[in-house]
Structure 1
C-alpha cells in the first residue's frame, strides 16, 4: 500500500503507461515470432526480425529495471524524464543504449550492454540502494535468459538442426525450427549480456555496483575511467585468449541452462544478406 501511495503522490499514473513505441516493439516481436513459427517467407529474415526485435525488447526492460528501482529508491525524476514508459527514444544515450548494441548483435553476434539511464544519485543516500539500481539491469538479463532457456529444458526444439539444401544453402530443420533457433540465439545473447554487464569494468553495471563502496580516491579514479569503459571492453574482447575464454564461459553457461549448442549459429544465420 505504501508503494502505491508513493506512485500516485509523486508521479501521475500516465508516467507508468507503456509508450506507443514500446507497444510497437511488442507487436514486431509477436509478428516475427509468428513468421518464424510458421516458416513464413525467408526463414533467415524471420530469424533476423525475431532476434533483433527480441533484443530491443530486452534492452528496453533492462533500462526500465534501472529506472524503476531508482524511482522507488528516491529518484522521482526518472518519471519526469520518461524512463518509466519503456520508450527507448527517451534514454539519455539512445545511441549507446539501443543503436550500438543492435550493431554489435547484427555484425558481431555480441550481446553488448547498453548505456544506462541517467539517475540522480543525490536523492539516493543508501549505498545498498545505489548498488541495487545498477544490479537491476543485469538481473533482468538473467531472468530473460532463464525464461528463454526454460522451453529447451522441457524438451522443446529437440529435433532442431541444420542441413544443406539442394542449392548448397543452409536449411534449418525440425518442427518450427526457425522459431526455436531464434529463441536459442536470443537466450545465448542474454547469457552473454548477463556476463558482460556484471564485469567490474568502469562505466558498466558491474563496475557501478561496486562504485558506492569504493573510497573517495578510488571513486574519483573510477569516474575518470568510466567514459572509456566500452573501449576497455572492446580491447579486452579483442585479445584472442580473453575472447576465447569469454565465449567459452558463455557457451558453457548457456549449455547448463539447456540452450542448444547451435544457438550461436543462429546469430550468423540471421545475417540473411551473407552466404553461410
Structure 2
C-alpha cells in the first residue's frame, strides 16, 4: 500500500514539475541566459508536454460532463501524464519526435467509455475538446509572444512562445483530420453506419501510424501541415519572423 501511495504521489508531481521547468526556462530565455538556445528548447518541450496533458484533460472533462464518471477513477482529471494508457508512446515518443523533427504529433491517450455517455453525439464533443484546446493554446501563446516583444525587439522568450504557438496550431489541424485514430475521426464516427465502422475497424490501429510516417518522411506533406498552422498563426497576429527565430533556437544543436 505504501508503495502504491508513493507512486501516486510521484505521478501527481510530474505535471507541476514540468510547469516549473517551463517557467524557469522561460525566465532564463527572457534574460538571455547562455546558452539561450538550450533554454528555448526546454521551454518549448515543456510547453508541448503541458499541452499534451491539457489536451487529454479536456477530453476527460467533457466525458465526465457527458456521463462517463470512470475518467475520475482512472486519474485522468489529475493532469498526471503517467495515467495515460501508455506514457512512453503517448508522451515520450511524441516529445522526442518533436525535438528531432519538429512535427507536432498527437500524444497522450485516455480511454473513454462511450457507452456511459448520454447521447449519441456526445462522443463527438469529447473528441472535439482536444483539438479545441490546442487551438486555444495557440491563440494564447500567439498573444503572449507578441506581449514579450520589448521595444520592437524579438526576445528569445517571445520567439520560443511564437514557435510553440505554431506547433499548437499544427496539432489542432492534424488532430481534426478524419483519419482513424485521430480526434477528427472520433468526431465523425458516431454518425457513421455500423457497417462503415466495421469496415474501418481493421485499419484503425494502422491509419494514424501511416499518416505519421508520411508526415515524417515526406517534406511536402509536413509542409502543407505547417502552411495551415502558419495561416492560423497569421490570423491571430503572430510574427513569422519570431516563429522562425524560435524554431532556429529550438534546434540549437544544428
Both proteins in one fold, TM over 0.5: yes
Aligned to 1:165: none
Pick the aligned partner of 2:45 from 52, 59, 63. Answer: 52
> Cα offset for 1:101?
1.6
Aligned to 2:226: 247
| Per-residue Cα deviation, 1:219-270 (whole angstroms, up to 9, x for no partner) | 1123322211322212442444433333222222212222221314423422
Gapped regions of structure 1 (runs ≥ 5): 1-14, 161-173
CA distance in 1, matches of 2:124, 2:151: 40
Q: CA contact under 8 A between 2:104 and 2:168: conserved in structure 1?
A: yes
In the alignment of these two chains, the number of paired residues is 243
Aligned to 2:95: 102
Q: For residues 140-151 of structure 1, what are the structure 2 equivalents within 5 Å?
A: 140-151=133-144
Pick the aligned partner of 1:30 from 19, 23, 47. Answer: 23
Would you say 1:124 and 2:120 are equivalent positions?
no
Pick the aligned partner of 2:239 from 234, 243, 260. Answer: 260
CA distance in 2, matches of 1:183, 1:75: 35
Q: CA contact under 8 A between 2:174 and 2:225: conserved in structure 1?
A: no
Provide TM-score, normalisation by structure 1: 0.81
Provide TM-score, normalisation by structure 2: 0.88
| Per-residue Cα deviation, 1:112-134 (whole angstroms, up to 9, x for no partner) | 11242011112124122110111
Would you say 1:220 and 2:213 are equivalent positions?
no
Q: For residues 121-270 of structure 1, what are the structure 2 equivalents within 5 Å?
A: 121-151=114-144, 156=149, 159-160=152-153, 174=154, 177-237=155-215, 238-262=217-241, 263-270=243-250
Which one is further off, 119-128 or 260-269? Answer: 260-269
- Root-mean-square deviation (Å): 2.1
Gapped regions of structure 2 (runs ≥ 5): 1-7
| Per-residue Cα deviation, 1:184-206 (whole angstroms, up to 9, x for no partner) | 01101001001001111111011
SS in structure 2 at match of 1:142: helix
> Cα offset for 1:155?
8.4
CA distance in 2, matches of 1:129, 1:158: 48
**Higher alpha-carbon Rg:** 1
CA distance in 2, matches of 1:245, 1:34: 33
